[in-house]
A and B are shown apart, each in its own frame.
Chain A
Amino acid sequence: MQHTITFTFDDKPITVTVPTNTMLSDAAQLAGLDIGQPCGGQGRCGRCAVQVTDGNVRRRSTLRLSPGDVGQGFALACQSVVEGDVSIYVPPQEKIERRLTTDRVVAEVTVPEGYEYPSDQTVRRIHLELTPPSMDDQTDDWSRLQTALRLQANINKVNVSLGLLQTIGNVLRVGEWNVTAVLEYPLEDLEQPVRLISLQPHHVDEYSPLWGCAIDIGTTTVSVWLVDLVSGQVRAQVAEYNGQIVRGEDVISRIMYANKSGGGQELRQRVLDTINELLETACKRVKAKPEDVVKATIAGNSTMIHLLLGIPASNIRLSPFITAVNHPPLMRAGDVGINIHSQASVDCLPGVASYVGADITAGVLSSGLDVAEDVILFLDVGTNGETVLGNRDWLVTCACSAGPAFEGAGVVNGMRATTGAIEEVWVNSDTFEPTYRVIGGGKPKGICGSGLISLLSEAFITGIIDKAGNVNLMKSSSRLRDGAHGGEYVVAWGTESESGEDIVLSRVDVDNLLRAKAAIYAGFTVLADTVGIPLESVSKVLIGGSFGKYINVEKAVQIGLLPDMPWEQFDFLGNTSVRGAYYALLDWRKRDQITEIAKRMTYIELSADNSFYEAFTSALFLPHTDMSKFPSVASALER
């Protein structure tokens, strides 16, 4: 029997006639429409979704689509056959991608609900009108200022630095006794004096921004958020590779390097340079000056904080792994070397142990794990692979050195998730031809973390690599070839790439990625085992890490990075460390909460026995040596 199919594409209807049981994708081709089939029409990628607006098709598989989608008429062109006359709407690609159930888009950054300036904020800006001095009132400038603070801001005790004291006479007069003071209120003890950070010789508009910054110093990536403390809004987000990376990819190499003569000083300078350049970029974006930034809150792993502060870190690496300080006191930016207002406070958040630092306590805060009723697993998919498991009653944590592969470092064509990074790959299982998406849409420069996950998974599912990661050179495709480190797969030919060189996934990259994912998987399985909690009882998995704006959960499960659980149980939080620092920057209660979190967390040392190693080797396989832990992948492989 013949049927009439009307496709609507770009508002233009095209009609073709086909026999019963024709695949929609074939019908579309007949109609001259090019519906991309990145997975080779296998029903794996969902990119060929179309919407049936009238009539009916038989869907062989709806794997990518939610029941809601199907309800709205969505069908996979490569998996649906014609049984009668139908009208089909072919939506534009972007619209489809957004529908796919497996993508987890990074949680948006919004001002925490209920944030109130100034009551939540430790830094406040106050407009003061001083009575000008006269022959009758010869009170000195400083006392006059103090009086104004007492009368107009109810501040009885105030501290000031010598540097600032040297300038107040001038500022008061330039401002004609109308000035704006930026003050910092004590965090812990309200009896403590308030501190004067700066004095400006004019009246600043009450709603104009008061700048603070949240900084996350990652082993691989440094992120800076520039925040308006008045509105609470994040006004600029910037990130760059940590300048220390040339001196070693992991914390251990950094500690070793810092031990050499001059090494510590060099590393300190390198990270300061990275931070200061990022601050400059961020400030430029909002047309502010770094000196306008009056508060900095810093999260980072213990080693990064030690190196930033120039504190010897060597004991972090040596058994029994002891930091010099888990919770540094408040410091001045000028002393630390961060180029913002020299009197601005630098608040380094508290960590738990050598390998579970403030980045994780901040991460826990931002994920809300410490107040959750059900058991939640929090994974930081980064160089140090920190993991936290728990709820409001108990918290355990561990760290496993995963390496920087998922941050794009240590992988031949890896890069950070910025413009030019391939962030998603689909491979046609018949031809091994890839389809990829590049951040920013231009020519690819390399592959970022989410791209690597997606690529590894596709290579595995299509048989380009075997379960142990060996590239299968018996397959015939020019994209599979013998490279410098054994077999490799060409993702983008030089003709397509920005540099003109081929972008490849090499055997060594695969090994690095396998090790990284195995370490992370082993970390949380051992953690769950040690406390005796079955993974099934975890209600949610929160993923942190410096991926781009999204991560494909299905792919991450397919390579065995994430546990095989229903997709809705995963949330992708992006960089949780800088987010936690942001919350702490805004609200002193949140800041207190981090201290509490650090006290409550129980750190598990994975090297104490063999169990981590065992779990690691069993995870060093795709997706895992124990396939029964990955039923969804087993069934995907069968298809």
Chain B
Amino acid sequence: MPIEIPKDKWPGSIKIVTIGATSAEGGTRTKSISVGGQASMPYLHYEAPMPNKPVIAIEIKSRKPDDWSPLLVEAWGETMAEPAQWAKKADEAGADIIVVALTLADSPEDAVRVVKSVLSATGLPLIVWGPGQVEKDNELLVPVSEATNGEKIVLGICEDKNYRTIVATAMANGHLVQARTPMDVNLSKQLNILISDMGMPKERILMDPTTGALGYGIEYGYSVMERLRLAALQGDAMTQLPMIVTPGYETWKTKESKIGEGVPEGWGDWKARAINWETLTAIALVESGADIVVLRHPESVKRVKGAIEELVTV
């Protein structure tokens, strides 16, 4: 019985966003990374080809964090003390992009120095996050943005209460922005509208709908992403942006990943479980439409990469 495969023809598609600039493009990266461009729900190649596959970013900090899980410390070892070394190792571990997370302890000079050192240690495109405090973010990100003019870095994280300064400096220096909203379709759209109302081209905005880790609200993030993607395909211009999510950050603060002792026996082997936690969270998000997943453990990076390969091979 010949079955006719139902295909959705969507009126909309996702904007292609390119991160990082090569020397030809006015930067110093060895290559730039493009995400987006889909015209179907994730990996339904029979409906529309997928011009860009999802990529993996590895998160490193500007200073060695003292609250990361011992499993992560074990994986990255000595390099954690030196962002440039750490970035290099992340590059080797398979990162497509490096996320440099600045901290409250950084001065503007520190921030600029760290970002520049990472830029010279690796040819990968960069995402730079402020420490997550309105004033401090602005204080650090503006000089970083100016010092890296033309590199097409993604600056983050814009939120609805604090987006103007970051967007303004990103616009002035040829960078991109990451727009984060707390797991709500409408809030995502609203922040995208506010940012593009400032004149930022949509090709330079990544939306971060926020996710919870597995067991900690992943279902909300998951559905919000599916809904955003559906809205985009249906033609809603304000949702036609690639999505970035941070399963690494989310999972490594859960006790399922962070802790090895004093947990229920039913949780099984710590290391395997912890990596499963990060990997499975990331996979669920990749299935729901993530374009960039930010991870922390090299083993998860390997597994998620493998899965993406399988998903994009037709």
Binding site for B on A (CB under 8 A): 466-468, 470, 474, 614, 617-618, 620-621, 625-628
Contacts and interface: CB of A to CB of B under 8 A. Distances in A.
Nearest to A618: B186
A3 B164 CA distance: 49
B194 A614 contact: no
A625 B189 contact: yes
Given A467-B190, A617-B186, A627-B238, 19 more contacts: A466-B197, A467-B194, A467-B197, A468-B160, A468-B190, A468-B194, A470-B161, A474-B164, A617-B184, A617-B187, A618-B189, A620-B190, A621-B186, A621-B190, A625-B186, A625-B190, A625-B238, A626-B189, A628-B236
Contacts, number: 35
Given A468-B160, A474-B164, A620 B186 contact: yes
13 contacts: A467-B194, A467-B197, A470-B160, A474-B164, A614-B185, A618-B185, A618-B189, A621-B186, A621-B190, A621-B193, A625-B189, A626-B189, A626-B236
Interface of B: 160-161, 164, 184-187, 189-190, 193-194, 197, 236, 238
Contacts of A474: 164
Contacts of A614: 185-186
A618 B187 CA distance: 8
Nearest to A620: B186
A625 B161 CA distance: 17
Nearest to A637: B197
A482 to B, nearest CB: 14
A523 to B, nearest CB: 16
A474 B189 CA distance: 23
B99 to A, nearest CB: 27
- Chain A binding surface, main DSSP class: loop
A245 B150 CA distance: 58
- A-B pairs with lowest CB-CB distance, top 3: A618-B186, A617-B186, A625-B186
Contacts of B194: 466-468
Contacts of B161: 470
A617 B190 CA distance: 10
B164 A625 contact: no
B184 A625 contact: no
Contacts of B164: 474
A227 B190 CA distance: 50
A617 B194 CA distance: 15
Nearest to A466: B194
A168 B194 CA distance: 76
A228 B95 CA distance: 84
Contacts of A621: 186, 190, 193
A620 B185 CA distance: 12
A216 B288 CA distance: 52
A416 B161 CA distance: 32
A466 B193 CA distance: 10
Nearest to A628: B236
Nearest to B160: A468
Contacts of A617: 184, 186-187
B212 to A, nearest CB: 17
B133 to A, nearest CB: 17
A333 B164 CA distance: 61
Nearest to B188: A625
Nearest to A621: B190
Contacts of B197: 466-467
Contacts of A470: 160-161
Nearest to B227: A614
B180 to A, nearest CB: 14
A467 B193 contact: yes
A122 B144 CA distance: 81
Contacts of B190: 467-468, 620-621, 625
A628 B184 CA distance: 19
Contacts of B186: 614, 617-618, 620-621, 625
A10 B190 CA distance: 50
Contacts of A466: 194, 197
A467 B194 CA distance: 7
A627 B235 CA distance: 12
Contacts of B184: 617
A466 B190 CA distance: 11
A413 B250 CA distance: 44
A628 B12 CA distance: 15
B185 to A, nearest CB: 8
A468 B160 CA distance: 8
Contacts of A468: 160, 190, 194
B194 to A, nearest CB: 6
A382 to B, nearest CB: 25
Nearest to A619: B186
Contacts of A627: 193, 238
